[in-house]
Amino acid sequence: MSKVFELYKTLAAAFGPSGREDGIRETIASIAGNYFDEVTTDALGSLICRKKAVGVPENVRKIMLTAHMDTPGFVVTYIDEHGFLRFAPVGGLFRGDLIHVQVRFANGTRGVVSYEEKPDFKDLQMNNLFIDIGAANKKEAERMVKPGDFAVFDAPSFEQNGMICGPFLDNRIGCAVLLMVMTKLPETVKDDIYFVFTAQEEVGMRGAGPAAFAIEPTMAIAIDVTDTGDLPEQKYPMDCRLGGGPAVKIMDHSVLCAPRIRSALEEASLITGVPIQHEILRDGGTDTAAIQRSGSGVPTGALSIPTRYVHSPSEMCAVRDVEQAAALLTRTLLHTL
Ligand code: CO
Ligand code: ZN
């Protein structure tokens, strides 16, 4: 088992749908605590870890690296008289990913998502799905869960042929990258370095903006996953594949990345020999956009881990891309920004 897979498994085991990040925040804080001078939680639930620069305070730059720690999930909206739970998605869930998938609630209650048979299968909407927790009736169900309770995927993971497959690679693998960079930081640093594990990215980048507003970084880099173009018969060609190296984001639906951040990552690639790919994502957005527009504006870029089947319970990425992302980011942070 690789170090990356071990770390991913620790992070993926923690509960953390958007808005309910307590579990994953505690897990990350317990790993990161000793490496930073200050570890705080802000009003939206983002974890802000600061390593102070050694130098004259006025001249010190503030560099912010972020990864969102929340995952998409489910919220119970209604329990019917037979004990079946209706739910709303929290963040982007695709109904095709949900049929007969298992879920778990914060209190340990398990369930399986199923669907009404009356509508034609191809016409199924999210409203036609329900969660079965094996309750005989409404009363029994209500002893286990309540409307307003959150659930996440409950799915196994494996490592094979240098690939990792499992739930929540988006974005626990980004958190893993930051935790790997953290261990490579020297004793003293010349910039104020902030590692921010943000809340509520999956519901529209809600946590990153306030965190950036408070920090007022000189510049920022967000770490997240991105789609790949290496699957059969895809809609758009995309120059990004598993194992091709981390991807430097050029743009997505929400952001045009700062050229200086792109150059810094490219320069680090030349120095380290870490191969990079270039990400131009037609749909989707990341914290990058929220940080870029916070305060009077922040030069912001992003580094992405190519990942297949994003937001499904079986996402897949390459271990090497994760290791290389950590190496590239460390070099960028310490030498080329
Ligand atoms: Co996502
Ligand atoms: Zn993400």
CATH number of the domain where residue 100 is located? 2.40.30.40
In a domain, 111, yes or no: yes
Q: Look at the chain and report how many structural domains it folds into.
A: 2
Residue 52 C-alpha to ligand 1 middle, in angstroms? Answer: 30
The per-residue pLDDT for 55 is: 78
The per-residue pLDDT for 237 is: 86
- Catalytic hit among 6, 21, 26, 201: 201
Q: Mark whether 206 and 327 lie in a shared domain.
A: yes
Alpha carbon distance 103, 150 (integer Å): 10
- Tell me how far the alpha carbon of residue 21 is from its chain's centroid: 12
- Percent above pLDDT 90 for the chain: 95
Alpha carbon distance 333, 337 (integer Å): 6
Q: Lowest-pLDDT range, 90-94, 280-284, 325-329?
A: 280-284
For Cα atoms 331, 332, 336, give the angle at the middle one, nearest 5 degrees.
110
Alpha carbon distance 252, 284 (integer Å): 6
The per-residue pLDDT for 284 is: 83
Instruction: Provide the pLDDT confidence category of residue 283 given band limits of 50, 70 and 90.
Output: confident
Residue 311 C-alpha to ligand 2 middle, in angstroms? Answer: 9
pLDDT greater than 90 at residue 78: yes
The per-residue pLDDT for 150 is: 98
Final residue before a domain boundary, out of 102, 118, 153: 153
The per-residue pLDDT for 82 is: 98
What CA–CA distances, in Å, run from 168 to 68, 151, 176, 312, 315? 11, 13, 12, 8, 7
Q: Mark whether 251 and 125 lie in a shared domain.
A: no
Q: Mark whether 192 and 135 lie in a shared domain.
A: no
pLDDT greater than 80 at residue 311: yes
Ligand closest to CA 288:
2
Ligand closest to CA 304:
2
Q: Mark whether 185 and 323 lie in a shared domain.
A: yes
Annotated active-site residue 201? The verdict is yes
- Percent above pLDDT 70 for the chain: 100
Q: What is the pLDDT of residues 32-59, one digit of tens each?
A: 999 999 999 999 999 999 999 997 777 8
Q: Which domain holds residue 290?
A: 3-71+167-336
Type of residue numbered 86: R
Q: Mark whether 58 and 80 lie in a shared domain.
A: no
Q: What predicted TM-score, i.e. pTM, was given to this entire model?
A: 0.97
Q: Mark whether 80 and 9 lie in a shared domain.
A: no
What CA–CA distances, in Å, run from 88 to 11, 93, 108, 131? 25, 10, 19, 11
Q: Mark whether 237 and 286 lie in a shared domain.
A: yes
In a domain, 38, yes or no: yes
Q: What is the pLDDT of residues 117-166, one digit of tens each?
A: 999 999 999 999 999 999 999 999 999 999 999 999 999 999 999 999 99
Question: Residue 96 has what DSSP assignment?
Answer: G
The per-residue pLDDT for 56 is: 74
Integer-rounded Cα radius of gyration of the chain:
20
Residue 70 C-alpha to ligand 1 middle, in angstroms? Answer: 9
DSSP β-bridge partners for residue 301: 221
Instruction: Provide the pLDDT confidence category of residue 245 given band limits of 50, 70 and 90.
Output: very high
Residue 189 C-alpha to ligand 2 middle, in angstroms? Answer: 28
Instruction: Provide the pLDDT confidence category of residue 236 given band limits of 50, 70 and 90.
Output: confident
Burial classification of residue 59, based on how many CB atoms lie within 10 Å of its CB (0-12 exposed, 13-18 middle, 19 or more buried): exposed
Type of residue numbered 312: S
Ligand closest to CA 207:
2
Residue 218 C-alpha to ligand 2 middle, in angstroms? Answer: 23
Q: What is the mean pLDDT of residues 270-278?
A: 98
Q: Mark whether 77 and 137 lie in a shared domain.
A: yes
